Amino acid sequence: MAVKAVEIRNLSFSYPDGTKALEEISLDVSEGESLGIIGPNGAGKSTLLLQLNGILRSNSGSIKIFDFEVKEENLALIRKEVGLVFQDPDNQLFMPTVFDDVGFGPVNMGLPKNKVEEAVHQALEEVDMLELLQKNANHLSFGEKKRISLATVLAMQPKILALDEPTSNLDPKHRRGLLDFLKKLKITKIIASHDLELVLEVSSRVILLDKNKIAAAGETLKILSNEFLLTTHNLEVPASLLK
Ligand SMILES: Nc1ncnc2c1ncn2[C@@H]1O[C@H](COP(=O)(O)OP(=O)(O)O)[C@@H](O)[C@H]1O
Ligand SMILES: [Mg+2]
């Protein structure tokens, strides 16, 4: 049987102001699987991703990452396993240079200087950003920041990659580069996106969230070709599936 990378049971979550964001979510993700999370604005997609490494935590329900429950004493370990790229790159980048941003994780993991440099170079190469090594991320475009944010996570070599709207604001060349990279990357992937063509290419299974709940789940092609289901939830069938 496949190893479970993520096990979510009856997870509910409300923000401190009382806004309900997740209700009774149960979900398993197998190791090596690529899961897409789709759904209209405000469905709870980002909130769900933020639960995976305990940035947001709920008292109601449970999440396990491999054998470890997401709780205080496991957070350091879990954050090594789950690399989360935020929807907004400004929440991810805070160091004086791109090099320092991408090196932050490896430095914190205690890697020696040459290994940090190696990890930074490799990660930046993967997102085609090596030439901006000495820039301050504040001075980059949103799409460039998204790519740097992904590099900060790749540099840590996580076992699970959780991506929030990874293609937003990417130019077509770099969107294609990201898709091809993700298709080759064999680790567990959980990708929240409105870019349904990306989901179609990269994810084998999809969950559709709406109003804080799982509205549908299944094989990607089946969900993404269901016009009634998608339009009911403010989405549309990707152009490549239209006859
Ligand atoms: N920090 C916050 N405080 C209060 N409500 C929030 C906060 N962040 C998100 N929400 C609300 O939680 C719900 C889910 O949001 P979110 O997870 O960002 O949805 P999605 O990523 O699917 O667009 C929405 O109703 C949103 O307005
Ligand atoms: Mg979101």
In ligand 1, the atom with minimum distance to the C-alpha of 44 is 17
pLDDT of residue 155: 97
**Which residue owns the Cα nearest ligand 1 atom 4?**
15
CA dist 220 and 171 (Å) reads 25
Domains identified in the chain and CATH numbers? 35-51+78-241 (3.40.50.300)
Place of tokens 């990306």: 198
Which residues, in sequence order, are bridge partners of residue 11? 25
Contact 191, 203 (CB under 8 A): yes
pLDDT of residue 243: 74
Non-local CB neighbours of 236 within 8 Å, separated by 6+ positions = 196, 227, 230
Best of 37, 46, 50 to mutate for ligand 1, by most ligand atoms within 8 A of CB? 46
Report whether residue 132 contacts ligand 1, using a CB cutoff of 6 Å: no
What is the pTM assigned to this prediction?
Answer: 0.96
pLDDT tens across the length of the chain (243 residues): 689 999 999 999 999 999 999 999 999 999 999 999 999 999 999 999 999 999 999 889 999 999 999 999 999 999 999 999 999 999 999 999 999 999 999 999 999 999 999 999 999 999 999 999 999 999 999 999 999 999 999 999 999 999 999 999 999 999 999 999 999 999 999 999 999 999 999 999 999 999 999 999 999 999 999 999 999 999 999 999 997
Report whether residue 61 contacts ligand 1, using a CB cutoff of 6 Å: no
Report whether residue 131 contacts ligand 1, using a CB cutoff of 6 Å: no
Report whether residue 17 contacts ligand 1, using a CB cutoff of 6 Å: yes
Quote the ligand 2 centre to 110 CA distance (angstroms).
Answer: 32
Write out the H or E segment, with its range, that includes residue 79.
Answer: helix 75-81
